[in-house]
Chain A
Amino acid sequence: MLILECPYCGVKAEETELTPGYEAHLKRFGPGSSDTEFEDYMFARKNPKGVHFERWRHVYGCGKWFLAARDTNTLEVFGTYPAQSSAPPADLQDKIKAKRPDWKGYK
């Protein structure tokens, strides 16, 4: 069972307490953007077999959205961080890099 620590209330929550929200750090495109940008924003997802960054909501807890770094191939969780982050924290990125040397970075 997937267990994520909510970065706000510190609860180690298992997945029945959480709602998944798919890919994190999406750049939003709206009116005025090109067709390709809008299509990418709406439908093209990273879907990596390996390190992935996701949105989760602690729905049966503090109710807040947060972000998590996880390996989709092993279900290992690297860490969680607040939803207000525009990029994964540097120490988390270092930790992932140490564990997955061939990881190409979050971009």
Chain B
Amino acid sequence: MKRYSVFAIAKQALNYHLGWERAWAAPAPKKAYDVIIVGAGGHGLATAYYLGKNFGITNVAIIEKGWLGGGNTGRNTTIIRSNYLQDPSAAIYEKARSLYETMSQDLNYNVMFSPRGLLMLGQTHHEVRGYLRTVHANNMQGVATEWISPKRVKELVPIINIDGPRYPILGALYQARGGTARHDAVAWGYARACSDMGMDIIQQCEVKGVTSEAGVVTGVESTKGFIGCKKLGVVVAGHSGQVAEMAGFRLPVEAVALQAMVSEPIKPCMDVVVMANTVHGYMSQSDKGEMVIGGGTDGFNNFTQRGSFHHIEETLRALIETFPMISRLKMLRQWGGIVDMTGDRSPIISKTPLGNCFINCGWGTGGFKAIPGSGWAMAELMAKGEPGALAEAFNMWRFKEGQFIDESVAAGVAH
């Protein structure tokens, strides 16, 4: 792999930019691999990358039914934060956030990580109490957050209306090193680094079945034929339940649609990320000037990657009171993704009832921010066969034992 640098750009400029090589190879599948990862989204590619980087396992195939990064990795609102209440969540999301800090250098790929600061607005007294508790928890966990006054909120976000009347701003939970990154670039950067380590990324290859012998996985049947493996990692978000069924076990997940939208581009007006959980809306401004807006999930099972139409109006109506200046903005694009929700709204990184088959799913509405931490923990689990400190609490048996990581109360809807 040729490194990207200012010198490379200068050299290519002399040659009309015709000399750039492909970022990753497009090989045909081999007969067998040490490890197969199903799903070439952010989490799957990150898992493969850290398997190679941290454990030297490079005989790896990442297979993807669509195109890499085309699922939820390309469908989120790119928010990165780690201000979670529960210790296991704070640990893995903070690991992820810290890996984002150096990701562009580590991958030699500009993921445009922008730690611009993130506010979660307190708009009811309930919410204020909840966030004060989270700030205290974060201070104990070593996650840098603080509670700030309405005046400071207004200084950070001049376009905000703090006076209500329905939902006045009573303060905010502020994480100064939260922010955004370029979502596609995260998938592309990992893919390029994986390909460089000799891993095969096989797109347009759908898994049709999982084969096993004496309770241990032996490979997958795919649309490109049988591919053998010693270890299998299932990292497929919305379709986790379907792949788990092929592997012969059930997951406590349900698939629902979550949607987001962007406005027409406007001049820079907001240089932080603002989340308003009481009214179910969150917003940031992209480098192109579009206001990136996300809302809540639909309340029913859905695999169509199309959210309910009325949620667009609900989300915007809620945000217009807090940001009056967006009332005349035209919405440019709207899209949906299928997210896998668990009973406690926390992910699953776990061994499964099938030997040498591992699962990483249940990220629900908050997967993008976790990509590097999730890949780090999943790689450790797959390489050693046992979970490390980051993944341990996220096992799939916690529902039977009642050891929930209950972020559904802690994080509200905007997770």
Contacts and interface: CB of A to CB of B under 8 A. Distances in A.
A72 B299 contact: no
A22 B343 CA distance: 12
B397 to A, nearest CB: 9
A72 B301 contact: yes
Contacts of B399: 39, 42-43
A52 B302 CA distance: 10
A85 interface: no
A1 B299 CA distance: 13
Contacts of B241: 47, 49
A17 B160 CA distance: 31
A22 B308 contact: no
B318 to A, nearest CB: 15
Interface in B250-266: 250-255
A44 B254 contact: no
Contacts of A54: 300-301
B108 interface: no
B2 interface: no
**Residue from A22, A42, A44, A45 whose CB has the most chain B CB atoms within 10 Å:** A45
Contacts of A20: 298-300
Interface residues of A, number: 24
A47 B306 CA distance: 17
Interface string B235-252: 000010110000000111
B304 interface: yes
Given A15-B310, A35-B400, A43-B399, A75 B304 contact: yes
Contact of B250 (A42, A44, A70, A73): A44
Which of the four size classes fits the interface of chain B? Answer: 20 to 34
A22 B308 CA distance: 16
B335 interface: no
Given A15-B308, A43-B343, A72-B255, A52 B301 contact: yes
Contact of B400 (A2, A36, A48, A49): A36
**Residue from A44, A47, A70 whose CB has the most chain B CB atoms within 10 Å:** A47
A75 to B, nearest CB: 6
B304 A74 contact: yes
Contact of A22 (B300, B304, B306, B400): B300
Nearest to A54: B300
Given A1-B309, A22-B254, A49-B242, A75 B301 contact: no
B303 interface: yes
Contacts of B299: 19-20, 22
Contacts of A72: 255, 301-304
Nearest to B309: A1
Contact of B252 (A1, A43, A73, A74): A43
Interface in A54-95: 54, 70, 72-75
Contacts of A75: 302, 304, 306
Given A47-B254, A73-B304, 11 more contacts: A1-B310, A19-B299, A35-B400, A42-B343, A42-B399, A47-B255, A52-B301, A72-B301, A73-B303, A74-B304, A75-B302
17 contacts: A1-B308, A1-B309, A1-B310, A15-B308, A22-B300, A35-B400, A39-B252, A43-B252, A43-B343, A44-B250, A45-B253, A47-B253, A49-B242, A49-B303, A54-B301, A70-B300, A72-B255
The 7 closest A-B pairs by CB, nearest first: A43-B252, A20-B299, A20-B300, A43-B343, A47-B241, A39-B400, A43-B399
Interface of B: 239, 241-242, 250-255, 298-304, 306, 308-310, 342-343, 399-400
